Amino acid sequence: MDRHMRMEQRLHRLSQEVLRTDVAGMPLEWVDYRVAAILYHTGQVAYACGSPLYRVRGGYNARTGLRSVIEVSSIIATHGEMHAVDRNAAGYVPPLNNRTLFKRDANLCMYCGIVFRTSELTRDHVRPISRGGHDTWTNVVAACKRCNNHKGGRTPEQAGMQLIAVPFMPTYAEYIYLKGRRVLADQMEYLLSHFPRTSPLHARLRDDLARAVALH
Ligand SMILES: [Zn+2]
């Protein structure tokens, strides 16, 4: 492998986000390698699970003159995050945005069932705002432009259209999964274990995991 390729591979690995949890193991957020390194340096990492991702060089030890090396893991449990409890409480409502909404619906148009690129999807209000519908997780679905135009300001019943799945509000752990740009198999498995048993995402993640394993 030449130097350039090694460099590219290293940059690719460094772009992998680390899953941060609280000390009890509840998923909190994605952090990049810089934040992960700071958490290690400041002694906030209680324990690491998952697989080693990369090594980050730290400061020089004044006594020994040696430079410290931190091995960053794909999942790190950290001290001192008090918000985990709130975020994982039953009443927590994750912010609604198209990127996570379309991922919730697996980039399928919830009316015609065809897969679309994110740029080709729109946010459809099942019960239109003009008819008293709200801009909330349980009233919005991914829809292709064609279906959304056809539906117009009508409810699915009025338009003679049928949803292929019931829209749901993700829990915090589900929301973290939806926010992840590139989720590694061990991170996926970890998040999966924090999903409610009834989560519609179970089946999809199992498929993704099987595919990830098959690739190795
Ligand atoms: Zn459609």
pLDDT band at 69; cut points 50, 70, 90: confident
What pLDDT, on a 0 to 100 scale, did the predictor assign at position 127? 98
The pLDDT tens digits for 73-121 are 999 999 975 555 666 667 789 999 999 999 999 999 999 999 999 999 9
pLDDT band at 5; cut points 50, 70, 90: confident
CA separation for the pair 14, 53 (Å, rounded): 8
Residues 7-33: what's their mean pLDDT? Answer: 87
User: For the chain, where are the E strands, in sequence order?
Assistant: 18-22, 27-31, 45-60, 67-78, 121-125, 140-144
Distance 162 CA to ligand 1 centre (A): 11
Distance 142 CA to ligand 1 centre (A): 9
What pLDDT, on a 0 to 100 scale, did the predictor assign at position 135? 98
Residue 192: enclosing H or E segment and its boundaries?
A: helix 185-192
Better pLDDT: 8 or 92: 92
Residues 25-45: what's their mean pLDDT? Answer: 91
Distance 199 CA to ligand 1 centre (A): 24
What pLDDT, on a 0 to 100 scale, did the predictor assign at position 119? 95
Residue 152 Ramachandran class (φ > 0 left, ψ -120 to 50 alpha, else beta): left
Nearest to 40 by CA among 27, 57, 28: 57
pTM confidence score: 0.84
Say yes or no to pLDDT of 184 above 60: yes
Q: Which residues contact 94 (CB under 8 A, 6 or more apart)?
A: 100, 137, 169, 170, 172, 175
Q: What is the DSSP string of 104-118?
A: HTTTB-TTT--B--G
Q: Which two three-digit tokens encode residue 159?
A: 């338009």
Distance 111 CA to ligand 1 centre (A): 5
The pLDDT tens digits for 124-180 are 999 999 999 999 999 999 999 999 999 999 999 999 999 999 999 999 999 999 999
Distance 110 CA to ligand 1 centre (A): 7
Residues 201-213: what's their mean pLDDT? Answer: 78
Distance 112 CA to ligand 1 centre (A): 4
- Supply the mean pLDDT for the chain: 88
As a whole-number percent, the residues of the chain with pLDDT over 90 amount to 60
Q: In this predicted structure, which of 60-69, 83-92, 167-176, 205-214 has the lowest mean pLDDT?
A: 83-92
What pLDDT, on a 0 to 100 scale, did the predictor assign at position 84? 59
What pLDDT, on a 0 to 100 scale, did the predictor assign at position 204? 78
